Amino acid sequence: MNETMKTIMERYSCRDFAGTPLTEEQLKTLATAALAAPSGMNRQPWRIILLTDKQLIEEMDVEGMKVMATQDREMFERFVGRGGSLFYNAPCMVIVLTKTNALLDCGILTQNVALAAQSIGLGNVICGLTSIPLSGPRGSEFKERIGFREDEAFAMSILVGQANSGKEPHQLDWSKVTFQ
């Protein structure tokens, strides 16, 4: 199996990070993977923020859980059962912003970052839940502290860091494929 397929097959959604800060080289690798993502007509309709401010990530985590508790009790209880954290102690949150409704292009970028993280031995999980604290009562404050521009919207985030524990990748479901 070639290295690309090995990386794809071994990647799993990590929900248990050690909290150890990423190195400058690791951060640069993630940024490079993001910038290498293809986009329609090469418009690159995104901006990427590599958030490593652990205090800010933790504040957003706590606020996100508060918001979730009032909006979706079932989901809140599920996260409480997993340890009560949206961001799993991740030391880095790669935030993808867009000015347009370019979610497909931002999704391709997101997958590039997730696979690059896996390829350099970092755990990662693609995380749309960052939208919860960003849309809650403190959302404007968080967006300002992160550095959102007025015309930008959250598209997706990827939590990245050293994994505390491993997990088997999901099983392939070949019933989802038709060869014609």
Q: C-alpha distances in angstroms, 83 versus 76, 86, 169?
A: 11, 9, 21
Report d(CA 47, CA 95) in Å as an integer. Answer: 8
Q: Which residues contact 31 (CB under 8 A, 6 or more apart)?
A: 48, 50
Residue 165 has what pLDDT?
A: 84
Q: What are phi and psi of 46, to 5 degrees?
A: -145, 165
Domain boundaries, the chain: 10-36+47-162
Rg, the chain, Cα only: 17
> Residue 96 forms beta bridges with which residues?
48, 156
Report d(CA 135, CA 2) in Å as an integer. Answer: 42
Residue 51 has what pLDDT?
A: 98
Residue 109 has what pLDDT?
A: 98
Q: C-alpha distances in angstroms, 176 versus 21, 173, 179?
A: 38, 6, 10
Q: What are phi and psi of 166, to 5 degrees?
A: -100, 175
Among candidate residues 51, 63, 80, 79, the one with its CA nearest the CA of residue 161: 51
Report d(CA 146, CA 97) in Å as an integer. Answer: 11
CATH fold, domain 10-36+47-162, is NADH Oxidase (3.40.109)
Q: In tens digits, what is the pLDDT along the chain, a chain of 180 residues?
A: 899 999 999 999 999 999 999 999 999 999 999 999 999 999 999 999 999 999 999 999 999 999 999 999 999 999 998 888 999 999 999 999 999 889 999 999 999 999 999 999 999 999 999 999 999 999 999 999 999 999 999 999 999 999 998 888 889 999 999 999
Q: Which pTM does this prediction carry?
A: 0.94
- In the β-sheet with 92-98, what is the strand arrangement from edge to edge? 47-51, 92-98, 153-161, 123-127
